[in-house]
């Protein structure tokens, strides 16, 4: 039995400067501020500059997390970057970040693609690798430049997504019952046709025709995703609570994936937990996929919503359709 716990030592986040509000979007496609806000809860989202890469955003979030943890780049020996919009398909975004951040060349660096569940998957992976005893301090980043894969003529998707980055430093303490108490990861692989980018992979490499058809952009069956998302998040939340013998009313704060306010409200109803125990920032950032939970986590910590001893539930779902939950005692 393990005698140590994996704990979050610091968090950081970054949102690009450029704000794209609903009114501006309504001048680009046939939509309205009223439609977007009533169906999704989103008022605005951030867009990275053309020359601002996912790695650049990840580096800033990481620097803020390191500063909060009081650590130096040289202290990190494991870097996991959760993203589905890396700078390039190859090499990994983690390698760009390692170099820009000045991490040790003895740092294990890799990307993890679990779409919007990516940060929860990466956190679990980092904790397992730390618990193995072979790594001491992990940097876990969730970052996306979704604006690079949005079809700006498709009103059913372009109103939903945004860019950003969040990071956490994970370490170990010689104490049990703190930090990551447990996780529950999974996927409904039968839902790979509900949310996808069809071209640019090895099955259908990019062609002139695929670019003309904007097949390198995100496509989604929104209604189906909505239903499966609510089911997956509810199950993932219930399972982890049961596994850790914790009742919903013992949770101080839920940090759900920020895809849609209505999905978060449905989870609040299912878990019978009031909305004031949920972190919501989807109104300001839209859906930033793997960056959504670490940005919300960082904002919650910095605004004093998380105190020592509190139990926080992270719960996510995303393309795949992947899902994941994690319980953390601070
Ligand atoms: C996308 C989503 C907001 C759409 O809401 P909805 O209530 O299901 O809306 P529908 O898809 O049924 O569309 C209703 C109508 O609005 C229209 N519509 C779609 N997008 C629109 C927009 N941006 N502005 C105005 N009208 C729009 C549709 O064309 C449809 O018109 P029709 O009835 O004439 O065909 C919702 O399905 C959703 O949030 N799904 C989950 C998406 C998600 O979370 N994805 C990320 C997973 S990590």
256-276 pLDDT per residue, tens: 999 999 999 999 999 999 999
**Cα dihedral 149/152/158/161 (nearest 10):** 40
Count Cβ atoms below 10 Å from residue 99 Cβ, excluding itself: 13
Whether residue 259 has its Cβ less than 6 Å from ligand 1: yes
Q: Predicted confidence band at 176 (pLDDT cuts at 50, 70, 90)?
A: confident
Distance from the alpha carbon of residue 15 to the mean position of ligand 1, in angstroms: 25
Distance from the alpha carbon of residue 159 to the mean position of ligand 1, in angstroms: 10
Answer yes or no: is pLDDT of 48 > 70. Answer: yes
Answer yes or no: is pLDDT of 1 > 60. Answer: no
Count Cβ atoms below 10 Å from residue 276 Cβ, excluding itself: 8
Whether residue 260 has its Cβ less than 6 Å from ligand 1: yes
**Minimum CA distance residue for ligand 1 atom 4:** 222
The residue that leads in pLDDT, 177 or 45, is 45
Average pLDDT over residues 181-186: 96
216 catalytically annotated: no
Distance from the alpha carbon of residue 26 to the mean position of ligand 1, in angstroms: 15
Whether residue 330 has its Cβ less than 6 Å from ligand 1: no
Whether residue 31 has its Cβ less than 6 Å from ligand 1: yes
Q: The tokens of 72 are what?
A: 């130096």
**Minimum CA distance residue for ligand 1 atom 38:** 222
Answer yes or no: is pLDDT of 236 > 90. Answer: yes
Whether residue 6 has its Cβ less than 6 Å from ligand 1: no
Choose the catalytic residue: 22, 113, 260, 287.
Answer: 287
Distances (CA, A) of 128 to 95, 125, 136, 275, 322: 21, 5, 11, 32, 19
Q: Angle at the Cα of 279 (from 37 to 229), degrees rounded to 5?
A: 65
Q: Which ligand 1 atom minimizes the distance to the CA of 317?
A: 48
3-class secondary-structure state, position 309:
coil
Average pLDDT over residues 58-73: 98
Residues 6+ apart with CB under 8 A from 23: 33
Whether residue 318 has its Cβ less than 6 Å from ligand 1: yes
257 catalytically annotated: yes
Q: Predicted confidence band at 239 (pLDDT cuts at 50, 70, 90)?
A: very high
Per-residue model confidence (pLDDT) at position 283:
98
Distances (CA, A) of 272 to 40, 278, 325: 21, 12, 17
Choose the catalytic residue: 93, 116, 127, 217.
Answer: 116
> What is d(CA 33, CA 21) in angstroms, rounded to the nearest whole number?
8
> What is d(CA 16, CA 57) in angstroms, rounded to the nearest whole number?
8
Max distance between CA atoms of the chain, in angstroms, equals 59
Whether residue 35 has its Cβ less than 6 Å from ligand 1: yes
H-state helical runs in 202-307: 208-212, 222-243, 261-270, 282-285, 292-302
What number of CA atoms fall less than 13 Å from residue 314's CA on the CB side? 33
CATH topology classification for 5-176: Peroxisomal Thiolase; Chain A, domain 1 (3.40.47)
Distance from the alpha carbon of residue 265 to the mean position of ligand 1, in angstroms: 17
Residues 6+ apart with CB under 8 A from 7: 170, 171, 172, 173, 178, 179, 180
The alpha carbon of 255 is separated from its chain's Cα centroid by a whole number of angstroms, namely: 10
Pocket test for ligand 1, best of 154, 158, 188, 223 (most atoms within 8 A of CB): 223
As annotated, the residues of the chain forming the CATH 3.40.47.10 domain(s) are: 5-176, 180-329
Q: Predicted confidence band at 172 (pLDDT cuts at 50, 70, 90)?
A: very high
What number of CA atoms fall less than 13 Å from residue 231's CA on the CB side? 12
**Minimum CA distance residue for ligand 1 atom 31:** 156
Count Cβ atoms below 10 Å from residue 304 Cβ, excluding itself: 7
Q: Kindly report the pTM of this predicted structure.
A: 0.97
Beta sheet of 179-187, edge-to-edge order: 179-187, 322-329, 311-318, 253-256
Whether residue 117 has its Cβ less than 6 Å from ligand 1: no
281 catalytically annotated: no
The predicted-structure confidence for 3-25, as pLDDT tens digits, reads as follows 779 999 999 999 999 999 999 99
CATH number of 180-329: 3.40.47.10
8 A C-beta contact, residue 109 and residue 127:
no
Average pLDDT over residues 155-181: 96
Q: Which residue is it, tokens 């301090």?
A: 137
Distance from the alpha carbon of residue 215 to the mean position of ligand 1, in angstroms: 20
* CA-based nearest residue to 134, from 162, 99, 107: 107
């Amino acid at each position: 039995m393990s005698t140590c716990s994996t704990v979050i030592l610091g968090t950081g986040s970054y949102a690009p400067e450029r704000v794209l509000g609903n009114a501006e979007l309504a001048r680009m496609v046939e939509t309205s501020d009223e439609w977007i806000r009533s169906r999704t809860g989103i008022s605005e989202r951030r867009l990275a500059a053309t020359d601002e890469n996912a790695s650049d955003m990840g580096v800033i979030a990481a620097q803020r997390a390191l500063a909060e943890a009081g650590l130096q780049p040289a202290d990190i020996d494991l870097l996991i970057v959760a993203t589905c919009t890396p700078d390039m398909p190859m090499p990994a975004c983690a390698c760009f970040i390692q170099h820009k951040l000045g991490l040790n060349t003895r740092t294990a660096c890799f990307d993890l693609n679990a779409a919007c569940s990516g940060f929860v998957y990466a956190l679990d992976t980092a904790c397992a690798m730390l618990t193995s005893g072979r790594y001491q301090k992990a940097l876990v980043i969730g970052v996306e430049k979704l604006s690079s894969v949005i079809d700006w003529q498709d009103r059913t998707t372009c109103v939903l997504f945004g860019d950003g980055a969040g990071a956490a430093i994970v370490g170990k303490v010689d104490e049990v019952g703190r930090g990551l108490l447990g996780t529950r990861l999974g996927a409904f692989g039968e839902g790979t046709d509900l949310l996808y980018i069809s071209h640019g992979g090895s099955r259908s490499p990019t062609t002139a025709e695929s670019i003309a058809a904007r097949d390198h952009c995100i496509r989604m069956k929104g209604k189906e995703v909505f239903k499966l998302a609510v089911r997956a998040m509810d199950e993932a939340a219930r399972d982890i609570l049961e596994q850790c013998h914790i009742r919903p009313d013992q949770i101080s704060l839920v940090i759900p994936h920020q895809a849609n306010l209505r999905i978060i409200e449905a989870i609040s109803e299912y878990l019978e937990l009031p909305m004031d125990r949920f972190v919501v920032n989807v109104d300001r950032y839209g859906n930033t996929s793997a960056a959504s939970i670490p940005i919300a986590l960082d904002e919650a910590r910095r605004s004093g919503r998380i105190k020592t001893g509190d139990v926080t539930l992270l719960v996510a779902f995303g393309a795949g359709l992947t899902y994941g939950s994690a319980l953390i005692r601070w």
